[in-house]
Amino acid sequence: MSSKIYFITGSSRGIGLELVKQLAAKGNTVIASARNPEGSAELQKLVDDKKVFSVKLDVQSDASVKAAVDKVNEISPEGIDVLINNSGIIAPKPSVSHTAKPELWSDIYETNVVGVVRVTQHFLPVLRKKDTRQVINIGSDSGSLELANRADLNAPYHCSKAALNMFTRCLSHDLQNEKFTIVSIHPGWVITDMGGKEAALTTEDSVASMVKVFEGYTQKDNGWYGNWKGERMPW
């Protein structure tokens, strides 16, 4: 399989960092971004400015995203094949629907939804330089309305992931004539700072499975929502 050029948000730790490791190990070029990439010793161990690069990016800042686009254009003037929107935050527990403060909802949405929209819109010209044109949104089973069937859910987070799913669907329809592939994938319940120590999957296992799914994406998968095993999920 031919190598690709990936741009990944939220790459300083957790799933994002593991994506950098595994995608680079497969011979791909990876441009890893984070708010403070120099502050991640593990990320800097991977950066060689040949196959792995790091770029500063704050998804909540329009100026920061524009600067990141400029840097990516310097690193890879031929464009990128795949944008992976991995950045995300979760609300502290308990954050239920009838008591979580509106300011908290706004903060969660600014990163998990608006941040993804901002990055995607600014990077579309970079993606259009190549024929692959894939946007992979790291979603969650929390975004499934059908699976949200119990009380005391982390409402701001769940709602933000449902909104991310809808953005995925909207974008997939709006860009289908340009032969884009836009998907949302649930990585599983993963042992990270966000997922917690009681989670079922290691980052290594989750990412290894997701990368296999990534490698199989074609334009026929445009608008797909599924999990790390390649199984479709209910919206």
Supply the CATH number for residue 131's domain: 3.40.50.720
Question: Is 152 part of a structural domain of the chain?
Answer: yes
Please give the structure tokens belonging to residue 92: 């502290």
Q: Which of the following is catalytic: 6, 157, 217, 225?
A: 157
Residue numbers of the chain with a pLDDT score lower than 50: none
Q: How many domains does the chain have?
A: 1
Question: Is 69 part of a structural domain of the chain?
Answer: yes
pTM of the model: 0.96
pLDDT at 184: 98
Q: Which of the following is catalytic: 6, 21, 161, 225?
A: 161
Question: Is 235 part of a structural domain of the chain?
Answer: no
pLDDT at 1: 59
Question: Is 165 part of a structural domain of the chain?
Answer: yes
Question: Is 151 part of a structural domain of the chain?
Answer: yes
Q: 88-125 burial, b for 16+ CB within 10 Å, e for fewer?
A: bbbbeeebeeeebeeebbebbbebbbbbbbbbbeebbe
Which residue range(s) make up the domain with 219?
5-227
The contacts of residue 212 (CB under 8 Å, 6+ apart) are 230
Please give the structure tokens belonging to residue 182: 């836009």
pLDDT at 72: 98
Rounded Cα gap, residues 10 and 102, in angstroms: 25
Question: Is 115 part of a structural domain of the chain?
Answer: yes
Rounded Cα gap, residues 65 and 102, in angstroms: 26
Question: Is 234 part of a structural domain of the chain?
Answer: no
Is residue 45 among the annotated active site residues?
Answer: no
94: preceding bond cis by omega (within 30 degrees): yes
pLDDT at 157: 97
Is residue 217 among the annotated active site residues?
Answer: no
CA distances for 34 relative to 86, 107, 184, angstroms: 10, 18, 20
pLDDT at 135: 98
Other CB atoms within a 10 A radius of the CB of residue 167 amount to 20
